[in-house]
Amino acid sequence: MTDISSPAFDANALADALYTLRAAGGSQATAAFSQPRDLAEAVLAQKALAAREGASTTVWKVAMSPDQQAVVAPLHPYVETSRDAELPYLPGMKFEVEIALRLGRDLPVKAYPYSRDDIYEAVSEAYLGAELLSSAVDESGKLSFPLYVADRIGNRGYALGSVVPKKLIDTVGEVEVKVIQGANSIYEGPAKHPVGDVLAWLVAYANDSTRTANSLEAGSVITTGALSGAMLLPGPGKVEVLLAKDYVLNVTLSA
C-alpha cells in the first residue's frame, strides 16, 4: 500500500529558514516555507528560532489566534529604559504602543481557572512599552497563523519604558496616545486595545492547560497588545511616544 501520509514537520529546518531571512532583513511568501500544521508545531519552531537569536525566556508578547487560542512569543532585541532606547530599523517596519506587565509571583498551570482579579493581583508593575514588528513572512499571519507564530508573531524588538500607575491596566482606554517621528504625527488619539482589556489575552494564556508549566514566573515581563494599532513608520529616526500626557518613551531606530 502506498504511504500517502504527509512528511514529518522539521521545526529546526523552519527555524533555520526564518533565522536566515531575519538576519538579512528579508522575507518570503508563505508558500515558500515548510508549514507547521498546528500551533504545537509552530511553538517548536519558534523555540528553535528564539534559541538561534539569543532571545530571553523571561520577556514575552501575548496575542490571540484567529480561532481564539492565546499564543506567546519572546521579545528580541529587548531594551529596558527609563525614557530613551535604541533599536534597529528595517524598511516596512511597524510600531506599536503597548502596556507591559511584570509578574510579582508565579502563575503555574492549575486545575481551575484564574480570574481576572487573580491576574491583576499577580502584577507587580505596569510599564509603557513599544514593540517593533516586521515579519519574515510576506503575508504575516494572513495565510498561516501557525507560521506567523513560528516567526515570533512578527516581533523584531521591544523597548520597556517607564513605570506607569497600575490602575492604567483598567483605565488606559480613557487616556490619549501621541506618536511623533520628526515632523510627522504618526498617531494621536485614544488608547484602544483590540479587545478593550489589556489583561484579556494574558488571562486566556494563564488558563491554557497546555502551556509550559513555568511559562509565567515571577519577574517575567509580558506585553499585552497594541493601544494604537500597528503604525507604519516612514523610516529610521527618533520616535516619541506620549501616554496620558505624563509618560514618555523615545525610541531611536537606527538603519
Q: Supply the pLDDT for residue 174.
A: 95
> Which domains, ranges and CATH numbers included, belong to the chain?
11-82+91-172+188-233 (3.90.850.10)
Give the Cα-Cα-Cα angle 21, 24, 30 (nearest 5 degrees): 25
Q: Helix, strand, or coil here: 230?
A: coil
> What are the cell numbers at 212?
509550559
> What are the cell numbers at 151?
516567526
Q: Helix, strand, or coil here: 45?
A: helix
Count of all residues that appear for the chain in the document: 255
Q: Supply the pLDDT for residue 5.
A: 54
For the segment 167-201, what is each residue's pLDDT rounded down to a tens digit?
Answer: 999 999 999 999 999 989 999 999 999 999 999 99
Q: Supply the pLDDT for residue 224.
A: 96
Q: What is the DSSP letter of 233?
A: P
Question: Which parts of the chain register pLDDT below 70?
Answer: 1-6
For the segment 216-243, what is each residue's pLDDT rounded down to a tens digit?
Answer: 999 999 999 999 899 999 999 999 999 9
Give the Cα-Cα-Cα angle 126, 129, 133 (nearest 5 degrees): 140
The pTM score is 0.94
Residues paired with residue 229 on neighbouring β-strands, in sequence order? none
Residues paired with residue 129 on neighbouring β-strands, in sequence order? 98, 160
